[in-house]
Amino acid sequence: MRTFAKPKVVVSKCMEFAACRYNGDQINEPTVAKLAQYVEFIPVCPEVEIGLGTPREVVRLVSDGEDNKLIQPKTNEDLTGQMNEFANEFLGSIDEVDGFLLKNRSPTCGISDAKVYSGIEKSPVIRTGSGVFSNRIDYFFPLKPREDEGRLRNFILREHFFYSFIYHF
């Protein structure tokens, strides 16, 4: 029987790997579970990696003009620098990667649907955007496929994402 190299995919650790969501939950993600025997996953939870516990206080993206800041409203702490530092170290240490499968709507991992607020507390959502960690992926791996688990429920998007491994691999 022939063996094939497995694609390497960075995945949000909260999906099938650890109970590290802000509320202490783990997400059962069927796509990740089905891919486990075919893919070498590199699980990461950027929020835990910068020292935020599980469970933890909520963090959110807050508009700062054209940019967004990662703020923990309860403490008013700006975590943007810490997150960028972690992302730079983590992504810079990866020799080879074939793609990214991230948690949707996350202020760190969201690809395009993370809520961006106008202020720290009791402020309206003014747009959606990329999470802080996801933004750094654009810098380090601009041509690698990225997708979130919500969009993979769409058959066409899921097939395109899988095909992109073959194309890039």
d(CA 21, CA 100): 18
d(CA 56, CA 64): 24
Q: What is the tens place of the pLDDT at every residue in 104-133?
A: 999 999 999 999 999 998 899 999 999 999
Q: Provide the sign of the torsion angle of the four alpha carbons 23, 28, 31, 35, taken in this order.
A: positive
Query: What is this structure's pTM?
Result: 0.91
Question: Which residue ranges make up each domain of the chain?
Answer: 8-56+79-111+129-168
Ranges of residues in the chain whose predicted pLDDT is under 70: 1, 165-169
DSSP 8-state symbol, 120:
S
